[in-house]
Structure 1
Amino acid sequence: MAAATVTVVLWASAFVGIRGAAGHYGPGALALGRLLAGSLTLAVICLTRRTPLPPRAAWPGIAASGVLWFGGYMVLLNWGERTVDAGTAALVVNVGPILIALLGGLLLKEGFPPPLLAGMAVSFAGAAVVGLASSHGGGAPVAGVLLCLAAAVTYACGVVAQKPALHHASALQVTAFGCFTGTVVCLPFTGQLVDQAARAPASATLDMVYLGVFPTALAFTTWAYALSRTTAGRMGATTYAVPALVVLMSWLALGEVPVPLSFLGGALCLGGVALSRRRRRP
């Protein structure tokens, strides 16, 4: 639970970091820069701990999560948020945990515990309230919504692919080599990254490095550690706490005062997470 909490808090902080960097880095360049910083951090940790290569049985899951989650998800989300407001993006991406629960129940044989389904329904309602409260007038562009939906699908598929790999390799191995794979996938954006880094202010570059070291290297490792000790569905449900924390962090760091409806949505998100973590009595 402590590892899941670290993950949720750092992933929520990523929204603040992305806002600081997105104005100066394109979707692919930002994803590549973030992954390079994360890969360097994880490489140093692996060399220090003398972490061996993952066993062969873990590689299919590592490669799939690296391509889909570390690579595809980050590019698609960065791209979608260029045209869709934060509230709509949060609402669409929060389809991800529902897909994780469905895929986990079907493919990983985790089943569909009633507390999990009830908690996810409450949390999704809370995410919808937060999205509506933070949205501004006007309809969202269809292309941006589809990009955020594609990001949610790659996120869910990446998590489900990662779970079996954790039966054969450690959380650090799965995270590090997944991050390395995602970096390779994003290498076509190298030219954009070099060009934009030369013109971007230091604050935007520092935001990008922060995204790589903490929400990527650290948070993805704590995520994998927690995922190896529970079901994919229950871990996916914990991420519904992210919208509530984003509202609070945006208030503190960016001075964006939330409307009262945001607090109601945040309370629903947290209540749904608590409900999803409950175990049925025998």
Structure 2
Amino acid sequence: MPIRHRLLAATVAVIWGANFLAIHASLEVFPPLLCAALRFALLAIPTIVLVPRPQVPTRWLLGYGAGFGVLQFAFLYLAMDSGMPTGLASLVLQSSAPFTVVLGAALLGEHLTLRAGSGVLVAAAGMAVVGSQRMDGAAGILPFVLTLLAGLGWAFGNLSSRLAAAPRPLHLTMWMTVVPPVPLLALSLATEGPARIGEALTASLSSEALLAWGGLAYTTIVATVVGSGIWTWLMSRHPAGSVAPFSLLVPVTGIGLAWLVLAEVPQPLELLGGALVIGGVLLASSRSRRRVPVEPEPVPVPVAGTR
């Protein structure tokens, strides 16, 4: 990859890491499920009008939207609203990578190599270390479990996206946003209730809610359209193994920004667990390079009458 493309990949990781701060700001005004519904509704409307529908089977489009959109963000927003630290959420969500490896082997019959299996075990050990620091009753463990479920939802979305095999991946990414708004809004009405939704929408009209709207705008425009657009462009031009490792900078950025902006200081064991998670994800997603034997050059055979 040229240096400018590496810088673009690192920029996307920073954008996605900062997205967790934007979510935190949005949740200061909007209840979690309503916030997730608004996030996708703001993208779904212009997508239907402006973006051609991807030429993929409907079931995989729905599966991508349900896994990546509904499950991931419903659980993630609920986790952060119930006390999951912003920086730690960006780390635990990386569980999607080992979940994807395991589900690919279990559901799609993909071959699980020794390297990938070892990476999954290392990442799982890291998650266990992080989880052990959240064992201060249900109030501590519940946000952690919800974030793990968000990673599992992302993994199901990954499988559907892979099976869709979209000729234009960015169109699939944009049309995925059409799926979540209605189920998320229905869940919001059922669990958060019309009264809480009405109070949040009323509060959103005040000047104090500008930061929350800014967070929503960042999440929809910068993180999704700009970040995903650049990432898709890079993935279409370089091997996945060259681009994907840059996503490991997301939790580094998320934890660092949360430390600086929100004064969320991670515990030493959480940092150790995070290092194990990142190392496991890197190991699971890397491929061993097989040495190709070099055939000896043929020795020219003298032809009669020549030297």
For the 8 Å contact 2:90–2:250, the answer to whether it is kept is no
Q: For the residues of structure 2 that align with 1:226 and 1:163, how far apart are their CA atoms?
A: 17
Letter in 2 for 1:29: L
- Give secondary structure in 1 for the equivalent of 2:112: coil
Other-structure match for 1:281: 289
Deviates more, 1:219-228 or 1:173-182: 219-228
Alpha-carbon shift at residue 102 of structure 1 (Å): 1.4
Q: Which moved more, 1:264-273 or 1:138-147?
A: 138-147
| Superposition TM-score, scaled by structure 1 size | 0.75
1:82-231 mapped onto 2 (5 Å cutoff): 82-86=81-85, 93-130=93-130, 132=132, 135=134, 137-140=136-139, 144=143, 147-165=146-164, 167-188=165-186, 192=197, 194-199=201-206, 201-221=209-229
Q: Which runs of 5 or more structure 2 residues have no equivalent in the other structure? A: 291-307
TM-score (norm 2): 0.70
2:288 counterpart SS class:
coil
Return the match for 1:247 from 234, 242, 255. 255
In the alignment, the residues of structure 2 paired with residue 62 and residue 142 of structure 1 have an alpha-carbon distance, to the nearest angstrom, of 33
Higher gyration radius (CA): 2
Q: Offset of 1:156 from its aligned partner?
A: 1.7
Deviation per CA, 1:116-174: give whole Å up to 9, x if none.
Answer: 222333334344445556x4844436765664454333222111111111x23311111
For 2:47 and 2:54, locate their aligned partners in 1 and report how far apart those are by CA, in whole Å. Answer: 14
Per-residue CA deviation, residues 200-248 of structure 1 (Å, 9 max, x unaligned), is 521111112111122333344456667778789x96x876654333221
Matches of 2:184 and 2:13, distance apart in 1: 25
Are 2:75 and 1:76 equivalent residues in the alignment? yes
Q: Secondary structure at the match of 1:201?
A: helix
Q: What's the % identity of the aligned pairs?
A: 25
How far apart, in 2, do the equivalents of 1:20 and 1:143 lie? 21
The answer as to 2:280 corresponding to 1:272 is: yes
* Other-structure match for 2:34: 29
Q: Which residue in the other structure is 2:47 paired with? A: 43
Instruction: Specify the SS of the correspondent of 1:158.
Output: helix
Q: Does residue 16 of structure 2 align to residue 17 of structure 1?
A: no
Number of residue equivalences: 272
Seen in structure 2, the aligned counterparts of structure 1 residues 95 and 23 have a Cα distance that, compared at 3 Å, is: same
SS in 2 for 1:180: coil
Residue pair 1:241, 1:266 contacting (<8 A) in 2 also: no
Q: Give the superposition deviation at 1:84.
A: 4.3
Q: Decide whether aligned partners of structure 1 residues 273 and 142 sit closer, same or farther in structure 2, where only a CA change above 3 A counts.
A: closer
Superposition deviation, residue 90 in structure 1: 6.4
Q: 1:132 to 1:4 in 2, by over 3 A?
A: farther
Counterpart code for 1:103: L
Q: Which segments of 5 or more consecutive residues in structure 1 lack a partner in the other structure?
A: none
> C-alpha displacement at 1:31, in angstroms?
0.6
- Post-superposition Cα deviations, 1:47-88, rounded to whole Å, max 9, x if no partner, equal 4xxx53222x34321121112321232122212333343388
Alpha-carbon distance change, 37 to 253 in structure 1, aligned in 2, over 3 angstroms:
farther
Evaluate the alpha carbon distance shift between residue 115 and residue 8 of structure 1 in structure 2; reply closer, same or farther with a 3 A threshold. Answer: farther
Opposite residue 252 of structure 1, the aligned amino acid is L
Three-state SS of the structure 2 residue aligned to 1:281 is coil
Shift of 1:26: 0.3
